[in-house]
Amino acid sequence: MIPEKQAWTSDLHVDGTTLENALLRVVVDPKSGCITSLFDKNTKFEALAANSCGNELQAFHDKPKDYDAWISTRARWISPQSRCLRRNAWHFVR
């Protein structure tokens, strides 16, 4: 506790890998570390699908067919009627 600061209170209760307060209940799988349940008590809504991992990070190798999703050069939209290309610029045609 920091001197001259009031103690902070919380209604958080922890039972094993379940964390719960007045608003939410979170269940963590002890083997995988995945959040397997995120339950909103006010709306009675389970936010995660059954047998899912709510905190799983996935990364994918980007293999674009035509244009990369992240273009670092200048870009401007052109109309379908205009098919000319300018030097040092990307053009997108619908």
| Residue found under tokens 């995988």 | 32
**Structure confidence at residue 75 (pLDDT):** 52
Q: In DSSP terms, which residues pair with 28 in a beta bridge?
A: 35
Separation in Å, CA 50 to CA 19, 33, 47, 57, 77: 18, 16, 10, 18, 43
Tens of pLDDT, residues 14-47: 999 999 999 999 999 999 999 999 999 999 999 9
What pTM did the predictor assign?
0.56
Answer whether residue 73 shows pLDDT above 70.
no
Residue type for 84, please? C
The residues spanned by each domain of the chain are: 13-46
H or E, element range at 24: strand 24-28
